[in-house]
Structure 1
Amino acid sequence: MTRSTTRMQQISTSIYRKYKLSVLYASLTIPVGIILIFFDKAPSRNDFLDHWNRAEQIAAGQFTAIPDPSGTGNYGAINKDGVFEAFNNTAINSPFTYFPSVFGGGHLRISCLLTLLFSTLFVCIAISLAKQYDTIIFGIAILPIFFLSSIYPTADAITNSISLLWVAFILYLYQQEKLSWHNILATCLLALFLGQIKMTCIILILLIALPMIRQYQLNHKIDYRFVIPVIISLSSAICWMQATKNVPPSAVSTVEQYKEAKLTVLHHPGEILKSLGISLINPLDLTNDKHDTGRNIQFFTGAEYTQLPFAVMMPILFAVVLLVLYRNKNLPEFHIAEITATAAIIILFYTLTCTGLIVSWGGVALGSYASGLQSRYFIPIYALVCLLIPNLGILVIDRKKIRIFISALIGWSYSGLLLAHLFVFPWQL
């Protein structure tokens, strides 16, 4: 064996070790995703037609939805047959969240494949950037509720992957002793994207506080350069919100009702606080909406539709717990400032999500349960919740055994997921 060959093998081994988790993630999700895109018998696709209509509209070069010519107040697009299709709930989504479908040229499966590939790419970059936190990012990304959103054209696919990339990049900055202008410029680019995904995610811009606090602890100086990405992100979000200010976010309320609901919420802060508390503890079978249970337990069943049973979901959830705790002893310990900032962002995200739901339904649920609350809405903050776990002193001694065990748990659950989606059950015929 020549010296050059040996050197190449060493480089290949070094690259694999550095990006091993990213490679493993892509090796799992891309094949499984492709199989489901072509052969899924029971798809888990929330608001599929609304998302696909919006994706087709953008692919055709129409970036903003149009009002119903008949004057109903709904927004959507004119389909190929000349009939108006309303999709208010997705009309407010930025074209950026559907950009893979633009390259799909209006072909569903090509758009699905591109959505899967781009989402996977963003997650792989996130895993690599996270460094000591990579197992946490990997664990969140393999959750079925995350994965199943990436195999069809939906704003959730890009929202979830970009938000996870943003969190990972912030953690990357947090682990640096000194930040360069290259780091700030990269932050600005991601901040621009952050402003174009679902509007509740704009609160994640506050995560910039983590590297700012860290830099102050190390250098005793406030890095004011972080103001630039904050301005860029807020400007990006405001521009799109301005472009869709006349679009009601749901088909059950008009623009006037939506605006009135926003004013009502502002004038009754006590009632919104009441809704926030009730929504945390309200029994799901007592919300007066039979769909609320399915919406709320998606985290534990993988999706609202084609809900996976305990035997399939329990192993993957256990694997995620192990991945989150995998490097618990060696992670940089958050101090009170970082804990406070992270907890505040989680609370604000929950507040914005519940308030947004109440307002989009015209304010009828103000003071009661925020109907329509779904666990998939909180995917962008799952990693933040994991960051609040204190240093428990957990140390994995035999890493090889735990990796094999975790791989077996993931393999079992994804095999069950595939069977659940590919097998036609007799009662479905």
Structure 2
Amino acid sequence: MQFLSTPDPSGSGNYGVVNAEGHFVPFNNTAINSPFAYLPSMFSGGHLRVACALTLIVAVGFTALAIHIAGQYKTLILGIAILPIVFFSYLYPTADAMTNSFSLLFVAQTLHLLQKESIRWKDIGLFALSALYLGQLKITLLCIIPLVFILWCGRRNNTKTIDWRMLIPLCCACIANRIWAAITANIPPSAVVTSSDYVEAQMAVLTHPLKLLASVFSSIVYPLDLTGDPYDASRNIQLFTGAETTQLPVAVMVPVLLASVLLIVWHNAHLPRLTAIQRLILIAIVIIFYVLTCTGLIVSWGAPNLGGYAGGLQTRYFIPIFPIAALLMPNLDIEISPRTGRTLVTCLLAWSYAGILLAHLLPFPVM
């Protein structure tokens, strides 16, 4: 079992692994990812279907645990988890499966502690372990770690205090991330750049911050049919079509999207109101996550379009901040009867997922 990618022995500049047959297999675009991002696959024996099944089981397990511990926020976590874009990300042994499912668990763990009258050292220890694992996943997940600051100030035993223990999970995540970053410092993040190109791209971003801001803004409003990459549209609209490769029609997707919204607002009127500072923290996390995602893509391609569209943006990259953005939902004072709500959500989900199943099983002629 190999935990670190190696350069191609032939000198091609690619990074990957030498398989059992002695052939070099490149995987440049994931070469810098930590093995923790593929943890279930390590027990697959090299069989793809086994790796897919194990990844699905672990990802669903993380998600189920997140829903269970979220308490008053369980329907919010469930509302994100039922989205087809989330489910499809669990089906393959990719870094996205662990990244998306564990980020839901980390957010749920934070919300669980937010609802407790007192936080024990046992809670801090479990939180720190989660932060260690989070720090070994995608680097953009470091943006989620500041969630601990919504626990920083609060009332414990009727006394307003600052819980300095929240620095422990914060430090754990940062240290774990920096250790792996140091180990992979000489490995380029994609197939189109060398290590020196990557460093030059980083310098270009640092020395031209206004161009970076232009890219960040442009990537929000840029018409997807004008980017020059025919795949950009399908990458961007995955939330509304289900996946990049299988674009499902409105009749299939609208019901499940409606079910997601209903679940997010289900207990909205009864949730504890977040303070202004807590809301600012959540807004900052969403903004910084988006900016760093755009920056990472620009740099990984060598910054050829700095100032323009950040090529390669995919909706599934933003799944980790979906629940954080949902927390910003204002109190809409919507009351949903539990019986009516369960029936409606169940019917909407049954319709959409039946449509998804048929779309993948029925033969369709290519026009």
Scaled by the length of structure 1, what TM-score is found? Answer: 0.84
Contact 1:216 1:222 survives alignment (8 Å): no
- Cα distance, 1:149 vs structure 2: 1.1
Aligned to 1:400: 339
Q: What is the rounded CA distance, in whole Å, between the counterparts of 1:91 and 1:395 in structure 2?
A: 48
Q: Which amino acid is the alignment partner of residue 258 of structure 2?
A: F
Letter in 2 for 1:304: E
The amino acid of 1:129's aligned partner reads I
Alignment partner, residue 170 of structure 1: 110
Structure 1 residues 169-208: Cα deviation after superposition (integer angstroms, max 9, x where no partner): 0111111121110110011110001101111111111000
CA contact (8 A) 2:89 2:97 kept: yes
1:124 matches 2:64: yes
Deviation at 1:367, TM superposition (A): 0.5
Q: Which residue of 2 aligns with 1:227?
A: 167
Deviations along 1:142-173, one digit per CA (max 9) or x if unpaired, are 11100011112111111101001000001111
Superposed, 1:359-398 pairs within 5 Å as: 359-396=299-336, 398=337
CA–CA distance in structure 2, aligned partners of residues 163 and 337 of structure 1: 22
Q: Which amino acid aligns with 2:343?
A: I
SS class of match (2:161)? coil
TM-superposed deviation, 1:83: 2.4
1:249-298 per-residue CA deviation (whole Å, 9 max, x = no partner) reads 11011111011100111111111111111111111111111111011001
CA distances 1:106-154 after superposition (whole Å, capped 9, x unpaired): 1121111111111111001100111011001011111110001111211
Structure 2 counterpart SS, 1:427: coil
1:427 equivalenced with 2:366 (yes/no)? yes
Kept in 2: contact 1:216–1:223 (CA 8 A):
no
Q: CA deviation at 1:212?
A: 1.3
SS in 2 for 1:221: strand
TM-score by length of structure 2 reads: 0.98
Cα 1:405/1:66, change in 2 over 3 Å: same
Q: Counterpart of 1:102?
A: 42
Pick closer, same or farther for the CA change 1:200–1:217 going to 2, 3 Å: farther
Per-residue CA deviation, residues 33-87 of structure 1 (Å, 9 max, x unaligned), is xxxxxxxxxxxxxxxxxxxxxxxxxxxx100000011222221112344322211
| 1:176 partner letter | K
Residue 141 of structure 1: which of 81, 88, 91 is its match?
A: 81
**Structure 1 segments of 4+ aligned residues over 4 angstroms from their partners:** 215-218
SS of equivalent to 1:274: helix
User: 1:98 & 1:119 partners in 2: Cα distance?
Assistant: 11
Correspondent of 2:205 among 265, 281, 287: 265
C-alpha deviation, 1:217, in angstroms: 10
Runs (5+) with no aligned partner, structure 2: none
The correspondence for 1:79, drawn from 7, 19, 32, is 19
Structure 1 runs not aligned, ≥5 long = 1-60
Distance in 1 of aligned mates of 2:282 and 2:305: 28
Q: Residues 151 and 163 of structure 2 are in contact (CA less than 8 Å); yes or no, is this contact kept in structure 1?
A: no
- SS at 1:351 equivalent: helix
| 8 Å Cα contact 2:52/2:91 also seen in 1 | yes
Alignment root-mean-square deviation, CA: 1.3
1:258–1:359 Cα contact (<8 Å) kept = yes
Paired residues in the alignment total 367
**Partner Cα separation in structure 2 for residue 272 and residue 236 of structure 1:** 28
Partner residue in 1 for 2:296: 356
Q: Which moved more, 1:81-90 or 1:371-380?
A: 81-90
The SS at the match of 1:220 is strand
Which protein is richer in helix relative to its size?
Answer: 1
* Secondary structure in 1 matching 2:16: strand
How far, CA to CA, are the matches of 2:3 and 2:300 in structure 1? 22
The answer to whether the 8 A contact 2:147-2:281 is kept is yes
- Offset at residue 215 of structure 1 (A): 4.3
Query: In 2, Cα distance between the equivalents of 1:216 and 1:366?
Result: 48
